[in-house]
Amino acid sequence: MYEAETRAELMDPKLKACGWGVVEGSKVLRFQQTIVRQLDALRSETQKLEAVYQKKLADLEEPKKSILQKAFAGELRGSEPAEPKTEKALAL
């Protein structure tokens, strides 16, 4: 049993029975609820961003395969190849 389960199942009922418990409208409770709402919003935004990221990765897969295929076939010569560097050129 995890700590949160132990507290929820064993300790919280006993504390409430003794008069301890959550004070309705307490500042701490309001703060916790605010944090929960913010985390829920962040989780939602994160899930949306993850979906966009995965879609963009999938959209790039076909062009990637095409470019690799052309590269291995030697078809990617868009311009003249650069002159090889020589020792003379390096000395300048």
Answer whether residue 41 shows pLDDT above 90. yes
Task: Give residue for tokens 């395969």.
Answer: 65
Does position 29 have pLDDT exceeding 60, yes or no? yes
Classify residue 57: in a domain, yes or no: yes
pTM above 0.75, yes or no: no
In a domain, 87, yes or no: no
Structure tokens at 47: 């899930």
**Are 22 and 29 contacting, i.e. CB atoms less than 8 angstroms apart?**
yes
Task: Give CA–CA dist 11/3, Å, rounded.
Answer: 10
DSSP 3-69: HHHHIIIIIHHHHHHTT--PPTT-HHHHHHHHHHHHHHHHHHHHHHHHHHHHHHHHHHHHHHHHHHH
| Position 90 in a domain | no
- Which domain, by its residues, includes 66? 24-71
Q: How many domains does the chain have?
A: 1
Average pLDDT of the residues in 60-88: 78
